[in-house]
Structure 1
C-alpha cells in the first residue's frame, strides 16, 4: 500500500472507530505515532509496551531507535507529531 492510501485508511479508521479499541499491526512508523500504546516485538518476543512518546524518550527503546532511523531515512529528522 502506498503512503497516500495508508494515510487515508488511517484517517478513516480514527474517525469511524473513535469510540472503539483498535489494534493495529504496522511496519510504518507514522501509522502508530498517534496510538495510545505501542507494543514492540523483536525476534518474536515482547520487548516494550508504552505510549509512543515515552518510548521515544528512552535511549534504550527499540521503538525510539526505529523512529530515529525512520526520520533519518525519510529526510525528516526535524519533524514533529503534527506532521503525522
Structure 2
C-alpha cells in the first residue's frame, strides 16, 4: 500500500539504518518498526511491576531472602 508520512528525522534515520542492515526497502523497515512498537505496547501491561510507594515489588518466590543473600549480592556487585 502506498501512502505519504511525515516522520521525525531521528525516526527516519533509524528506519534507514534498519533497511540498510537488513537489505530491505525503507517502507518494509518502517512497517517492521511499527509492528515491533505495537507488539511492545500490547505486552507492556503484563510486564509492569506493582509498586508499593516508590518501590517495585518482586514476584513471589519459594525462597526466603536472608541477610546473607544480601551481603553476597553486595559483595558481588562491589557495593
Structure 1 and Structure 2 fold alike (TM over 0.5): no
* TM class by smaller structure: under 0.3
Q: TM-score, normalised by structure 2?
A: 0.26
Q: Tell me which protein shows more helix as a share of its residues.
A: 2
Q: Tell me which protein shows more strand as a share of its residues.
A: 1
Larger Rg belongs to: 2
Q: TM-score, normalised by structure 1?
A: 0.25
